Chain A
Amino acid sequence: MEMSRRSVPYTPVFKPLNEMKFSLVTTAGVRLSSQEPYNDEGDERFYVIPGDVNVADLTVNYASPANYDFSDSLKDINVVFPIERLRELKEAGVIGGIANKHIGLMGYTMRLKKIYEETVPAIARELERSNTDGVILTAG
């Protein structure tokens, strides 16, 4: 049975924050510099970013038709992908740790059916198979 759009899926937190490992998921076009750039006309792909990534190896590109100004994220990736802040919260004992998988995608495409039927479930499966206990999402 399909969930109605009027319904809201809700998973309660099942352990203390300081025992939870967190993943970041962003649709702001973040990727590793070594990964192929997102297609400028739209792209359904997503990339896995490792939890121990060096922020100097991260970059952003985004479809120009979307007219999204991502220049601030090129100066400091933490404005949309706060991996260094997440590490600080771990050091401070607020959270338990950094999960091994994080997700970057652009999410801008005209092929909405492909995004909903393929990309979205694939991202959920990827995280389900990781060691993540909680996810923080940003859209840009």
Chain B
Amino acid sequence: MAIQRAIEMSGVPTVLITVSAEESAQMRPPRAIEPEGFQVGNSLGRPGQVELQRQVLQASVEYLNKLVMPGQVTTISFPGY
């Protein structure tokens, strides 16, 4: 999304958690992960899925340290969803 690109241009690293990977990829996000199969409105998981939400958030934070191709979306599987 445009917001992510602008934040990154101001010198702050970012990670997008997207549930619409195709749409997000068109915007060429600096870094983006797609939790596999998550529905719109459930970026981090379903209500009350505390452990799963934490896993998704931790994966997004740790994604900052991964060497990835900017502009692409990485799909990650979280079996707990």
- The residue that B44 contacts in the complex, of A9, A78, A125, with Cβ under 8 A, is A78
**A117-140 contact mask (Cβ, 8 Å, vs B): 1 or 0:** 000110111011000111111111
* Residues of chain A at interface, number, CB under 8 A: 53
Closest Cβ of chain B: how far from A124's Cβ, in Å? 4
Q: Answer whether A25 and B7 are a contact pair too, CB < 8 Å, given A10-B70, A85-B50, A136-B61.
A: yes
Q: Which of B2, B30, B42, B48 makes the CB contact (< 8 A) with A10?
A: B30
Q: How far is the CA of A11 from the CA of B41 in the complex (A)?
A: 28
Chain A residues positioned under 8 Å from B53 (CB to CB): 78-79, 82, 85
Give the number of chain B interface residues (Cβ < 8 Å): 46
A110 at interface by CB-CB < 8 Å: no
| A94-B47 contact in complex given A8-B30, A9-B8, A72-B41, C-beta closer than 8 Å | no
Cβ A75 vs Cβ B47 within 8 A: yes
Say yes or no: A79-B13 contact (C-beta < 8 A), given A17-B62, A69-B40, A139-B24.
Answer: no
Contact of B17 among A12, A88, A123, A136 (CB under 8 A): A136
Whether B74 is near chain A, meaning CB under 8 Å from some CB there, is: no
CA distance A73 to B72 in the complex (A): 27
Residue numbers in B under 8 Å from A10 (CB-CB): 8, 30, 70
Cα distance A21–B65 in the bound complex, in angstroms? 15
Report how far A86 CA is from B53 CA in the complex, Å: 10
Nearest opposing residue in chain A for B68, CB measure:
A10
Contacts of B61 in A (CB 8 A): 17, 22, 89, 94-95, 134, 136
Given known pairs A13-B65, A120-B2, the reply for A136 and B14 (CB within 8 Å) is yes
Q: Which of B2, B7, B13, B17 has the most CB of A within 10 A?
A: B7
Q: Mark A1-15, 1 if CB is under 8 A from B, else 0.
A: 001011111111110
B2: contacting residue among A13, A86, A94, A116, CB under 8 A? A116
What residues make up the interface of B, taking CB atoms closer than 8 Å to A? 1-20, 24, 28-30, 40-48, 50, 53-54, 56-58, 60-62, 64-65, 70-71
